[in-house]
Amino acid sequence: MAERNNPFDVSDLIEPAKPAQPAPPSQATGTAATPERAPERPSRTQIDQLARETGFVSRERPRLGRRLKTGRNRQLNLKVRDEDVDRLYRIADREQITLGEVFERALDALEKTSQV
């Protein structure tokens, strides 16, 4: 029985790696040429100043830091509508509380109104 060819064999398509060539010596000093450096990045304050001068408005929605030690250590994943997520964050931002606190207050309000 004849040996079958591997349909996934690509060894004949790959070129062997070429050895690295040393950098040519610089004519002025006789040492190896140094690669060009990337331009320095502007500082955050320079970026902010340029944004103010040009009237740039960021599309990112500022969010308050929400990493607080609250004693909450359980995660709850929910499928919700985009507008409800926006409402949740808007309430948390307005009240300056965490998302967990918003959830707790919502549960408390529901329990209070449903007690008969």
pLDDT at site 87: 95
| Higher per-residue pLDDT: 8 or 54 | 54
33 within domain boundaries = no
Q: Supply φ then ψ for residue 32, to 5 degrees.
A: -65, 145
Residue 12 pLDDT level (bands cut at 50, 70, 90): confident
Q: Which domain holds residue 96?
A: 81-116
46 within domain boundaries = no
pLDDT of 41-95, one tens digit each? 888 888 889 888 998 887 776 665 656 677 888 889 999 999 999 999 999 999 9
DSSP per-residue string spanning the chain: -PPPPPTT--TTTSPPPPPPPPPPBPTTTSSBPPPPPPPPPPPHHHHHHHHHHHT----SPP--------S----------HHHHHHHHHHHHHHT--HHHHHHHHHHHHHHHH--
pLDDT greater than 80 at residue 39? yes
Asked whether the whole model's pTM tops 0.75, one would answer no
58 within domain boundaries = no
Number of domains making up the chain: 1
